[in-house]
Amino acid sequence: MLHAAVEEARDATRRAVDTTAKAAEVAERGMNETMSAFIAWAARHGVDVEDARGAQMTLRFGDDVQDVGRAVREGMRVWQNAGMPEERYRSAQIRFADGSFGDAWHWLATG
């Protein structure tokens, strides 16, 4: 029980440090406030965003996400509001803590 609490605290600290580093990177690159909103979305949902140029974007979700579909759709809305290319987000790979994965468009498909 104590071990689980320590692991949870360690993970929360790691996410906070990662979020801070990404926010600093955004500020350094001169991105606008709307991109900061995307970083805040990622932090709120415990999502680690890997978006290297020339590579497929990956969104790594932690254990604590309750509704993946809702979170992915909300992320898409924030991404679009940031003026980022829709296709980049749609083609992102979604990875989960249990090792499973899928493509973002599966959760974005309508009807």
Task: Say what the pLDDT of residue 24 is.
Answer: 66
Can you tell me the distance from the alpha carbon of 92 to that of 103, in angstroms, rounded to the nearest whole number? 6
pLDDT category, 8, cuts 50, 70, 90? confident
Return the structure tokens found at 106: 């599966």
Q: In this predicted model, what pLDDT tens digit does every residue of 14-41 receive, in sequence order?
A: 887 777 777 666 655 555 566 788 888 8
Q: Could you tell me the pTM of the whole model?
A: 0.67
Q: Where are the domains of the chain?
A: 2-108
Tell me the Cα Rg of the chain.
14
Highest-confidence segment of 6-10, 20-24, 75-79: 75-79
pLDDT category, 94, cuts 50, 70, 90? very high
b/e per residue 17-50 (b: at least 16 CB within 10 A):
eebeebbeebeeeebeeebeebbebbbebbbbbe
> Is residue 111's pLDDT more than 50?
no
The mean pLDDT of the chain is: 83
